[in-house]
Structure 1
Amino acid sequence: MPLYEHVFLARQDLAQAQVDALAETATNIITEHGGKVVKAETWGLRGLAYRIAKNRKAHYVMLDLDAPAAAVAELERQTGINEDVIRFMTIRVDEHENGPSAMMRRQERDRSDRGDRGDRSDRGDRGPRPDRAPREEMGA
């Protein structure tokens, strides 16, 4: 069967459980039509490059599919009807990417680049920072 990647963007005001339910619905559509979802990734709530239907952010979900064309057509039809999905795109690929997708690797890299910020309690009662001199009083 042909291989596909299906990415959809869900509205920003949905809870994570509702986004997971949308992914589960897409999985059910594919399995009912003789295909299977090889991998599902939730990329989280991310900012959009421009507003789409008054949304500045969206929940991103990617599904790797191994399904016949009829199953993908039905998935796209159902996704287009759903008011919680603001955009979607399905592309045919030669093979699925092994391991996490580029977006997931990027998120992991960003987390590791921040490093350990250490214990923030070194400033005690949040008094003045020792590297700054106190402000002088404004005189006449």
Structure 2
Amino acid sequence: MNKYELILVVAPNLTEEEVKATFEKAKGVIEGNGGVVDNVDDWGKRRLAYEINDFNEGFYYLVNFSSNPELPKELDRILRITDSVVRHMVVKQG
């Protein structure tokens, strides 16, 4: 199993429950496909470096997880079609 890091930016115009639901969806994809979530850092609402989809802020999450090499592709596919996700990035840790 490889170690990965996910940065997730969720839209700021959602309710607290919708933000948590979006994060739980990403976490569920990881755990549902045989991955293990090692650590979660909720960075809260932060200002974006530049405007994305008319948003200047977003809720940030940093998730460290271990999984097989196929999981990040599936996670990327699901997060791309999730409307409440402003940006995301999955990086393999050395």
TM-score normalised to the size of structure 2?
0.93
List structure 1 segments (4+ residues) > 3 angstroms apart after TM superposition. Answer: none
Residue 16 of structure 1 and its aligned partner are, at CA, apart by 2.3
Unaligned stretches of 5+ in structure 1? 95-140
User: Counterpart amino acid of 1:69?
Assistant: P
2:52 paired residue number: 52
Aligned mates of 1:23, 1:75 — CA distance in 2: 12
Answer whether contact 1:12 1:57 (CA < 8 A) is retained. Answer: yes
Structure 2 CA distance for aligned equivalents of residues 23 and 38 of structure 1: 15
Amino acid of the residue matched to residue 43 of structure 1?
Answer: W
What RMSD in Å do the two structures reach over aligned CA positions? 1.0
Question: Which runs of structure 2 are paired with 1:1-140 in the superposition (5 Å)?
Answer: 1-94=1-94
1:17 positional shift:
2.1
What's the TM-score once normalised by structure 1's chain length? 0.64
* Higher fraction of strand: 2
Greater relative contact order (CA < 8 Å, ≥ 6 in sequence): 2
Alignment: residue pair count = 94
Unaligned runs of 5+ residues in structure 2 are none
- Structure number with greater Rg is 1
